[in-house]
Amino acid sequence: LLEKESVVKEAIFGLQNDLILRGIELVFVAGGWRLQTKSEFSEWIKKLKPTRKIKLTKPSLITLSIIAYKQPVTKTEVEIIRGVNSEGPIEHLMKLGLVEIAGQKKAPGNPFLYKTTKKFLSLLGLPDISALPRIENA
């Protein structure tokens, strides 16, 4: 198994080196590898194909931030932080594929636990959730 891993890693690094002088690159994002256009060509790509942006309301953005930094987290825990009902924003984030159910908390009522998805990581260009910027405790 270790031999196979080293062969795969060697192939990945070889491919990355082969792509250095090209317009694409191989990067590790959201727990996997993605072949993407290099950032210096983004303006050209935008002209060719406009991207569909995900628009989030302020309540949804705040809810997503709480889930990202506190995951896995229950709806009640999100609501305690926000101070308001969060059912709508959580449902919206789930429809967009940015948040998913991560299981159930072993507590009265067995509430759902929520976490961010690979799509969330991919949209932010993060290899994993630990790559989120650190926040200071208030």
Encode the chain (138 residues) as per-residue pLDDT tens digits. Answer: 678 888 888 999 999 999 988 889 999 888 888 888 888 888 877 777 666 778 899 999 999 999 999 999 999 999 999 999 999 999 999 999 999 999 999 999 999 999 999 999 988 888 899 999 888 764
- pTM for the full predicted model: 0.67
> Would you call 5 helix, strand, or coil by DSSP?
helix
Structure tokens at 68: 């990202």
Second CATH level (architecture) for the domain 2-48:
Orthogonal Bundle (1.10)
By DSSP bridging, strand 73-74 and strand 112-116 are antiparallel
Q: Do 2-48 and 58-130 come out as alike in CATH topology?
A: yes
Residue-wise DSSP of 40-108: GGHHHHHHHS---PPP--HHHHHHHHHHHHH-SEEHHHHHHHHSS--HHHHHHHHHTTSEEEEEE-SST
Domain boundaries defined on the chain:
2-48, 58-130
pLDDT for 5 equals 84
Assess if CATH 3.40.720.10 describes domain 58-130.
no
